[in-house]
Structure 1
Amino acid sequence: MNETMQLSPLRERFYRREHRSVPAAREFVREAVTDWGFGVRLDDVLLCTSELATNALAHGVPPGRGYLVRLLLEEGGAALRVEVHDSGSGQPGVRESDGESGRGLLLVEAVADRWGVGERSPGKVVWCMFGRGCFAGSVN
């Protein structure tokens, strides 16, 4: 890459409602995280991307629709925000696992520095953030 080339602080990609979209979203995020120099947090970011995309497919994307993965560099490039936008209703939250499922947001809460849910019309945005520095714990 040319040293003088400026990287955009925003990247986004739309995915259709299909299971192969989760690995595609992970690869999209992997490329951006690597380009932006967040490699030290790569495993955490990819885990959270997988969980949020899977939750969107399972609970937030009605048939015939899809979801958007948006990545933003914030705080002057010191933080990475991962957003998954879907058009479904409902308010995601950390819940007790039923043994087979239900651990996704527990994992996000454990590895992301912060996470939360925002409104959009229609639907919601589930997001998480990562700093370049050491693990900072979760704040919801």
Structure 2
Amino acid sequence: MVEDIKLCVSELATNALLHGAPPGREFCVGLHRGKELVRLEVRDSGPGQPAVQRPGDDACSGRGLRLVGELADDFGVDDHVVGKTVWLVFKTVAAPDPVPLTTPESS
């Protein structure tokens, strides 16, 4: 899953840089780990909504949102007064509670 998340960070950050951050503006990447999910967010200050494209077979770009949509368990876009946040959620398996270690004194 780490490799999938790294690929999605790259795709969304590239989209923000190329299409979402006007000249002189920046974008922000956030990664949040919960007990059973990882949420990736990329916020930019540009207008508009990203759209999944259907590029031709010989096109060199246009597949990023389709790719991240296939890798993530959920994704969407939150609008802001200025800009937007594109987010992805990856479901994880909750780690089991640690088993207490026994010591010679406790046995």
Q: TM-score of the superposition, structure 2-length normalised?
A: 0.80
Residue 90 of structure 2 aligns with which residue?
130
1:61-108 deviation per Cα after TM superposition (whole angstroms, max 9, x unaligned): 00111001112223xx21010000000011102111141110000110
Structure 2 CA distance for aligned equivalents of residues 57 and 85 of structure 1: 10
- The amino acid that maps onto 1:85 is R
Structure 2 CA distance for aligned equivalents of residues 83 and 107 of structure 1: 16
SS of the equivalent of 1:46 reads helix
Structure 2 CA distance for aligned equivalents of residues 81 and 61 of structure 1: 21
**RMSD across aligned positions (CA):** 1.1
Gaps spanning 5+ residues in structure 1: where? 1-40, 134-140
Greater Rg over alpha carbons, structure: 2
Structure 2 CA distance for aligned equivalents of residues 114 and 67 of structure 1: 21
Higher helix proportion: 1
Gaps spanning 5+ residues in structure 2: where? 94-107
Structure 2 CA distance for aligned equivalents of residues 128 and 83 of structure 1: 7
**Match runs of 1:66-85 below 5 Å:** 66-74=26-34, 77-85=35-43
Q: Which has the higher contact order (CA 8 A, sep 6+)?
A: 2
1:52 maps to 2:12: yes
Q: Is the 8 A contact 1:87 1:121 kept in 2?
A: no
SS of the equivalent of 1:62 reads coil
- The amino acid that maps onto 2:41 is E
Q: CA deviation at 1:120?
A: 1.6
- How many residues are paired up? 91
Q: TM-score of the superposition, structure 1-length normalised?
A: 0.62
Return structure 1 stretches of 4+ with deviation > 3 angstroms: none
